[in-house]
Amino acid sequence: MISKKLDSIVARVMGVSPSEISDQSGPETIEKWDSFNGYVLLDEIETEFGIKFSLDEAINIKNVGDIKRMLKDHDVVLE
């Protein structure tokens, strides 16, 4: 299940439990979500799903919900 896979990637990079991840999770709700870990997160997601975010896309990602929308834009099917 891709949504669970995304949650586990976010949890691993940000050092939180997957159960703490929601569409609203972002820098305001996860202490370790800073610019560096945000970059690491995007790199991990791109590698896992075989996609590449544009600079504009990367700049506009503010939370997990945004990441899910961007994945859909790249034809990644979220279950």
- Enter the pTM of the model: 0.91
- In the predicted model, what is the mean pLDDT of residues 57-70? 95
Decide if 78 is inside a domain.
no
CA distances from 29 to 7, 20, 34, 64, 67 (A): 14, 10, 11, 11, 15
Q: What is the pLDDT of residues 37-58, one digit of tens each?
A: 999 999 999 999 999 999 999 9
Decide if 79 is inside a domain.
no
Would you place residue 72 in the very low, low, confident or very high pLDDT band (cuts 50, 70, 90)? Answer: very high
Q: In this predicted structure, what is the pLDDT of residue 77?
A: 85
CATH number reported for the structural domain that contains residue 43 in this entry: 1.10.1200.10
The total domain count for the chain is 1
Burial of residue 57, with CB atoms counted within 10 A of its CB: 0-12 exposed, 13-18 middle, 19 or more buried: middle
Domain containing 21: what range?
2-73
